[in-house]
Amino acid sequence: MTEETTAPNGVLVDYDVRKVMAALPHRYPLLLVDRVASLTLNERIHAVKAVSMNEQFFQGHFPGRPIMPGVLQIEALAQAAGVLAVESLGLAGSGKLVYFMAIEEAKFRNPVEPGVLLDLHVEFTQKRSRVCKFAGKAMIGDKVTCEVSFTAMIADA
């Protein structure tokens, strides 16, 4: 995190895919965050996944009616939470990773089809030095596609 990318109110700006890749170990085809629209340190993140027909999972899920698997929506939310945790806890370059521990109360509301921007909204619900809890909601416009609570652990790679 640099001064040029942090506004005075603690909101990160100009956070493109290169910065996402610097914060996360994920790479294509499992990198599911394309950019960060806004990130308020120690509070919340709004990230975006551009869902394209070129995604590998659409080949088999489902032929004739491509739908993004719910588990990948949760993974996209978890990756957004990873960016939030890395930035908020100052973990960039530390060699630490953010690992899933638990997924709770997952609900799928609407299908995600190719050609949309999937908005990923995640906020801290509890933050400790090694374990964090999050609430996440994936949306297309004002329609919720998925909502979930999950827990992650900060640990060595």
**Triad 57, 14, 92: Cα angle to 5°:** 75
Catalytic-labelled residue, pool 26, 46, 61, 121 = 61
**CA distance readout (Å), 91 to 17, 82, 94, 115:** 18, 10, 5, 33
Partnered with residue 149 across adjacent β-strands are 104, 135
121 is catalytic: no
Which residues are annotated as catalytic? 61
